[in-house]
Amino acid sequence: MNTMPLSAVTVLDRIRVVLSHPSHPGNIGAAARAMKAMGLSRLVLVTPKLFPDAQADAMAAGATDLLVQAEVVESLAQALSGTVLAVAMTARRRELAVPALWARDAAAELVSIAAGEDVALVFGNETSGLSNDELAMCRRWAMIPVNPEFSSLNLAAAVQVMCYELRLAALDPGAPPAIAGAGEIASHDEVEGLIAHVERAALSSGFLDPASPKRLIPRLRRMFSRAAPEKKEVDILRGLLAALEKPLPARNANKT
């Protein structure tokens, strides 16, 4: 029997598979089956069209326990709460997106970070995929190297491919170790809080015109996705913003 090292099991337990707005309950069941076969168990569904459903149970084929414990939420923001890295699966290049990763590289990065923190792998709707707003909430995006002449891949099949890559990465003893002395990576919620703080400060200072198209926030998300800031770094930036938001006399008084 093929058994996994305890450390690999722990890593896979920290990886959420998020299906955003899935239309077909059969795909949810088949995704659960794919996950269980590869040792993953955390399934999160963002406003599924039909769930629970008998077709999902049938397609799960023995993985109904993952459906029973699946978390159903109303937004991708809720699905990503508590994670420090989210990788979106999409075949289309989007404006302002960070550079793409191939599936295997994305799996290696997720597994590396899941050694200590929760991460997420995000799939979009079967027909329309992920919206631009949803993609902007993910720090990375990845592609499966399919045949360019026939790139159509079923949702459950894509989940299977990525779960295999995650398992392979978790079992790989050559995975790079964590950087010595690095601080704890900021969570999705902490980075989103920083972005919201920047937006408030930009509006109140007059730097950002509320009537004009807001290009600042997508660009900030892209920048922070590349930077992967640590908790202490987020705290420093928010402290700086809070100090700058104080009226000038109050700032001068703090210096005396």
Same domain, 207 and 133: no
Most confident of 74-83, 137-146, 179-188, 196-205: 74-83
CA distance 107 to 17: 12
Percent of the chain with pLDDT over 90: 63
Whole-number average pLDDT of the chain: 88
pLDDT higher than 80, residue 84: yes
Helical axes 155-171 vs 6-13, angle rounded to 10°: 140
The domain boundary, picked from 136, 171, 206, lies at 171
Residue 179, domain member (yes or no): no
Q: pLDDT of 201-234, one tens digit each? A: 988 888 888 887 678 888 888 888 888 899 999 9
pLDDT higher than 50, residue 1: no
In 3D space, the residue among 14, 11, 134, 140 whose CA is nearest the CA of residue 82 turns out to be: 14
Same domain, 143 and 220: no
CA distance 33 to 35: 5
The domain boundary, picked from 110, 143, 171, lies at 171
Same domain, 165 and 192: no
Same domain, 133 and 216: no
Average pLDDT over residues 22-46: 97
Q: Residue 255 phi/psi, 5° resolution?
A: -85, -15
Same domain, 109 and 233: no
Same domain, 154 and 237: no
Residue 31, domain member (yes or no): yes
State the DSSP string of 87-148. EEE-SS--TTPPPEEEHHHHHHHHHHHHTTS-EEEEE-BTTTB--HHHHHTSSEEEE----T
Same domain, 163 and 205: no
Average pLDDT over residues 64-86: 97
Residue 130, domain member (yes or no): yes
pTM for the model stands at: 0.79
CATH code of the domain covering residue 248: 1.10.8.590
Same domain, 229 and 151: no
Same domain, 142 and 39: yes
Residue 177, domain member (yes or no): no
The count of domains in the chain is: 2
Give the pLDDT score at 174: 58
Same domain, 154 and 194: no
Residue 128, domain member (yes or no): yes
Residue 85, domain member (yes or no): yes
Question: Which of 42-46, 73-77, 118-122, 177-181 shows the lowest mean pLDDT across its residues?
Answer: 177-181
Same domain, 196 and 147: no
Give the pLDDT score at 250: 54
The one-letter amino acid code at 165 reads: E
Domain that holds residue 96: 6-171
Give the pLDDT score at 99: 75
